[in-house]
Amino acid sequence: MKSGVFIVLFGQQSFEQALDTAKAAGLQSVEIGTGAYPGTSHVNAKAVLNDEAAVRAIRDAVDSRGLTISALSCHGNPLHPDAAIAKPHHEDFVATVQLAEKLGVDTVITFSGCPGDSEGSKYPNWVTCPWPEDFLTILEWQWKEVAIPYWKEQSELCRKHGVKVAIEAHPGFLVYNTETALRLRREAGDNIGVNFDPSHLFWQGMDPIECVKALGDSIYHVHAKDTKIDKRNVALNGVLDTKHYGDILNRSFVFRTVGYGHDDEFWKDLVSVLRLVGYEGTISIEHEDGIMSVNEGFNKAASFLNSLILKESAGEMWWA
């Protein structure tokens, strides 16, 4: 198992500087943003895809530092009802899959996407309850008419290029928990798996350890990001929270650097149970802590994560 970082965190640095930052922190791999919501601060998949020199330069820059690429990430909404959003997100995904093949990277990360409520919709519609019954009608249409046909096609595309898709479960999209992740995999293709990010599960009231056990070998990549639950705000307003992420005092939850939402015992158990279900890939730091600076949050996360992985690799297992 390796420690890594999603280098969109270092968007103000050059690609080479970002790699140097990861290497200096003792990490072994990097996750690279290539389009859609993460943007293209370091690599634009569509721009470099047919430029063999640019592709080689990416590979050489990573290899020369003794690093590996854990995944290419283009988190987007290719199911968006507005074609002006869906089309470029889809194009970014396709280009990222093709670039992954050229770079020898076997995993591409994205979101499942979320359609509108019907043909002609303007905005996505995320269904969160079964009544009134209109909501179930919407949900059935979203899955059967939009999501499953789309992801069946992408499954075949990825199979052609030798790439796996790691869907990050995230509220606001069709895949947001364990059963929806497994449904997409079951109905669209077994090369569609999960980018496991416990931070999005915590605030929904889920137990990430049990989720890992249920997801098993469908876990293709892992994010290291924590969540702190504010018990008072949850008691007053529940976990569905639309307040700005910067309104930390009043939110029901806030994203934190690993170890600042849940203690060492949880993270030790997570690393161990990932190993138990056969995961040997990267645990990639994704820093979105609104309280810590980029440097502080990243360095604390890297130190914390390296310590856990080194201890686990040495045989100090914490069984879930």
* Structure confidence by residue, pLDDT tens digits, 112-130: 999 999 999 999 999 999 9
Asked if residue 156 belongs to a domain, the reply is yes
Does the structure show a pLDDT above 80 at 310?
no
pLDDT tens-digit series, residues 234-269: 999 999 999 999 999 999 999 999 999 999 999 999
Asked if residue 187 belongs to a domain, the reply is yes
Contacts of 215 (CB under 8 A, 6+ apart): 178, 181, 182, 194, 196, 277
Residue 135 maps to which CATH number?
A: 3.20.20.150
Q: How many domains does the chain have?
A: 1
Range of the domain at 214: 2-313
Asked if residue 116 belongs to a domain, the reply is yes
What is the length of the chain? 320
Asked if residue 319 belongs to a domain, the reply is no
Does the structure show a pLDDT above 90 at 28?
yes
Model confidence at 313, pLDDT cuts 50, 70, 90, reads low
Model confidence at 320, pLDDT cuts 50, 70, 90, reads very low
Residue indicated by tokens 């008419």: 145
Asked if residue 214 belongs to a domain, the reply is yes
State the average pLDDT over residues 135-161. 98
Q: How far apart are CA 189 and CA 186, in angstroms?
A: 6
HSE-CB at 37 with a 13 A cutoff on CA atoms is 11
pLDDT tens-digit series, residues 188-201: 999 999 999 999 99
What average pLDDT does the chain have? 95
| Residue-level pLDDT at 312 | 57
| Residue-level pLDDT at 318 | 40
Asked if residue 16 belongs to a domain, the reply is yes
> Is the CB of residue 123 less than 8 Å from the CB of residue 86?
no
Asked if residue 154 belongs to a domain, the reply is yes
Tokens, residue 319: 């069984």
Does the structure show a pLDDT above 90 at 147?
yes
Model confidence at 319, pLDDT cuts 50, 70, 90, reads very low
The string of DSSP codes covering the chain is -EEEEEGGGGTTS-HHHHHHHHHHTT--EEEEE-SSTT--SS--HHHHTT-HHHHHHHHHHHHTTT-EEEEEE----TT-SSHHHHHHHHHHHHHHHHHHHHHT--EEEE------SSTT-SS--------STHHHHHHHHIIIIIIHHHHHHHHHHHHHHT-EEEEEP-TTSS--SHHHHHHHHHHH-TTEEEEE-THHHHTTT--HHHHHHHHGGGEEEEEE-EEEE-HHHHHHH-S---S-TT-GGG-SEEEE-TTSSS-HHHHHHHHHHHHHTT--SEEEE----SSS-HHHHHHHHHHHHHHHHHHHHTT-----
| Residue-level pLDDT at 309 | 86
Asked if residue 282 belongs to a domain, the reply is yes
